[in-house]
Structure 1
Amino acid sequence: MRICSLLPSATEVIALLGLSDELVGISHECDYPPSVRSVPIMVEPVIPPNGLASADIDQQVRQLAASGKQLYRLKDNLLRQARPDLVLSQNLCHVCAVTPDQLHDALSSLPHQPTVLTLNPSTVQDVIHDVVRIGDAAGRSAEGHRLAAQLHHRLEAVHTRIQGISHRPRVACIEWLSPLYAAGHWVPEMVQYAGGQDVLAQPGTPSRVVTWDEVFAAAPDVLVVMPCGFSVERTQTELFHLMQHTFLVDASSYFSRPGPRLIDGIELLAAILHPSNYDHIHESMACRLGPQPIH
């Protein structure tokens, strides 16, 4: 099967199902596992991906949207050459990836119409269910169910490790810095699984604009900064002054993409919220602002 994945989380699932060799196209953001980086890139952003601050990115996104222009360019010629049998896309966030309408227009000109699987997860359980859906669509149903079972097992392991905790820290998760966004969708549920309580959002609800006054009024014990698509290093360059108990995490790997590594994110959150129950966290996954290291 010839597979084109326009979604980083779906590309990760394809790799875990043992189908990396069947990838004929990916998006510019598909960077994990590293072995997929040699696959032809079918999508490129209109806005330069690096070097812009959050406020500048937001301004350019709003300007493009107001003018009716697309945020991404789909390379129709490469898509035609790839001749995909299966295309994996999403309908959750039109800022994050090619829109369904844009993809439909590009695919309509192909002589062979591929199967299109559109993913729209809002919760951790949706994400795990999508693993099964991708496995079914790619002809690897058994592997998909097996991978989903492994992810459920890891969730249970987190639950076992932190069960009996007497304190569930109040957690504020920030998805964007300017304007300030509270993380929604699956992130509040991740906090719950990790033994905390999200003070800014409910599981399955969209991310929303908040103010710093609202954040501080919520009185979080822990602030986790996870700008969508940013690494730890890029997030550090955005921040000047925040509360002492602030953690910067690798959002691209563990929070922004609704794939299997959300479970890694839950394990990471559990280690942040309950450090006495976990070993040292590698600095590439998270770093703490303030005088104390992550234990």
Structure 2
Amino acid sequence: MPERIISLLPSAAEIVRITHDFPATIQKLPILTEAKTKFTTSADVDKQVSEALSQGNSLYNLDTETLKALQPSVIVTQDLCTVCSIDLVTVQRVALTMKPNPPKVVTLNPVSLGEVLDSVIAVGNAIGHAEQAALVRQSMEARIQKCRDVAQEAVQKAQESGQEYKPKRVMFFEWTDPIYPAGHWTPEMIEIAGGVHPINPPGHHSARVTSEAVVATQPDVLIICPCGLDLPATRKEYNQLMEKSWFQEMAAKATTIVLVDGNQMFNRSGPRLVDCTEWLVMLLHDRPDFEPPGFPWERIK
């Protein structure tokens, strides 16, 4: 019997190609989770999340009846972020009630780009496609290496001309109010592409920071990419940032300001992180040949 797979994590769903919004051809498949929070503004969502977590409440509803009716043999979920997806304990409890053959629960918790690649192998092994998963990982690694090569070429060119290579200083907004800079794999990707993310270097979780700390990094590049927000919502958040004097002054000094669809890109720990790394190479080194087709972004400056 073929594996019957349910993914409760968008990034894992992209690995097995059954996500509800990417690719668009499978939008008719059942959606089993629903966020309890409703987006209004960044500040209000932060308040909703804080209140729910302080009371020990989950941020998502799980359609347990439909899940059971689908009779999965494998459920893929995560235990990294309670804000991003249904929590692991809830999934495990439901799985244990599915007698006589409870589904196997595969949990993914990547915090680095290498661990995202490991997730591809873990999912492939779980669903009986280990060989294909190994080939996918090999392809992703080759593309990442090409990004490293471009960054190294920039360093070598500077050295050959007798100059010091100065990587562009990036401020990546993972959330705008309050301010959360990029964490987990994103700072690592910025460095692979030849930049630097001084406010939160690789190997750290995203944590709330002050506007003074952001300004102190003197960024050359501002990337506004709030987790879970599409481009229209991101534009609104950018406009609200531009109403603040500290951001206006920083934006005036920056050489580059861009908006990115944070619902699709950077914030999902799946295969499209390689696209994001290539996009960073395009942005930081003016290499349009590295821009992935259809990448959802907008240049402000």
Calculate the TM-score normalised by the size of structure 1: 0.89
Aligned-residue sequence identity (percent) comes to: 33
Distance in 1 between residues matched to 2:87 and 2:36, nearest whole Å: 14
**CA 1:107–1:283: 2 relative to 1, 3 Å:** closer
What is the CA-CA distance between 1:68 and the residue it aligns to?
2.3
Which residue number in structure 1 is paired with residue 8 of structure 2? 6
Partners of 1:81 and 1:161 in 2: how far apart? 50
In 2, are the aligned partners of 1:173 and 1:200 still within 8 Å (CA)?
no
Cα deviation, residue 205, structure 1: 1.1
- Aligned pairs for 1:32-71 (under 5 A) are 32-48=22-38, 50=39, 52-71=40-59
What is the match of residue 220 of structure 2? Answer: 221
Conserved in 1, the CA contact under 8 Å of 2:113 and 2:185?
A: yes
1:180 deviates by 0.5
* Residue aligned with 1:152, SS: helix
Report the structure number with the largest CA radius of gyration.
2
SS at match of 1:199: coil
In structure 2, what is the Cα distance between the partners aligned to 1:268 and 1:230? 18
Other-structure match for 2:83: 95
How far is 1:186 from its partner? 0.2
What amino acid is the match of 1:106?
V
Distance 1:283 1:219, change over 3 A: farther
Task: For residue 38 of structure 1, report the CA deviation from its aligned partner.
Answer: 1.3
Question: Cα 1:187–1:143, aligned 2, differ >3 Å: closer, same or farther?
Answer: same
How far is the alpha carbon of 1:278 from its aligned partner? Answer: 2.5
2:193–2:280 CA contact under 8 A, matched in 1: yes
State the shift of 1:284 in Å: 5.3
- Whichever residue aligns with residue 100 of structure 1, its letter is L
Separation in structure 1 between the aligned mates of residue 170 and residue 299 of structure 2, nearest angstrom: 14
Looking at structure 1, the residues matched to 290 and 193 of structure 2 have their Cα atoms a distance apart, in angstroms, of 16
> Given the superposition, is the C-alpha separation of residues 234 and 136 from structure 1 closer, same or farther in structure 2, using an over 3 Å criterion?
same
Which of the residues 83, 95, 120 maps onto 2:109?
120
Alignment match, 1:85: 73
Q: Aligned partners of 1:278 and 1:239: how far apart in 2?
A: 24
After the TM superposition, which of the residue ranges 123-132 and 196-205 deviates more from structure 2? 196-205
> In the alignment, is the contact (CA less than 8 A) between 1:74 and 1:106 conserved in 2?
no
Query: Which residue identity lines up with residue 55 of structure 2 in the other structure?
Result: S
Partner of 1:278: 288
Give the CA deviation at 1:280: 8.9
- Give TM-score, length-normalised by structure 2: 0.87
Q: Which residue of 2 aligns with 1:254?
A: 265
Q: Which amino acid aligns with 2:193?
A: A
Q: Provide the aligned length of Structure 1 versus Structure 2.
A: 275
- The DSSP-based 3-state class of the residue aligned with 1:252 is coil
Structure 1 residue 233 corresponds to structure 2 residue 235: no
Q: Hey, what does 1:132 align to over in structure 2?
A: 121
TM-superposed CA distance for 1:76, in Å, is: 0.9
Most deviating of 122-131 and 38-47: 38-47
Instruction: Give deviations 1:55-111, integer Å, cap 9, x for gaps.
Output: 111111111122222211111100110111000000110111111111122222211
Equivalent residue of 1:219, what SS? coil
Q: CA deviation at 1:279?
A: 4.4
Would you say 1:159 and 2:148 are equivalent positions?
yes
Per-residue deviation, 1:288:
2.0
Please list every run of 5 or more consecutive structure 2 residues that lacks an aligned counterpart in the other structure. Answer: 155-164
- Once the two structures are TM-superposed, the CA of residue 202 in structure 1 deviates from its matched residue by 2.1
Distance in 1 (CA, whole Å) between partners of 2:146 and 2:295 is 23
User: Match of 1:200, as an amino acid?
Assistant: I
RMSD: 1.7
Following superposition, the deviation at residue 283 of structure 1 comes to 7.9
- For 1:77 and 1:133, the matched residues in 2 are separated by 27
**What's the CA shift for 1:191?**
0.2
State the distance in 1 between where 2:149 and 2:51 align.
Answer: 48
Instruction: State the partner residue of 1:23.
Output: none
Deviates more, 1:154-163 or 1:143-152: 154-163
Distance in 1 (CA, whole Å) between partners of 2:290 and 2:275 is 14
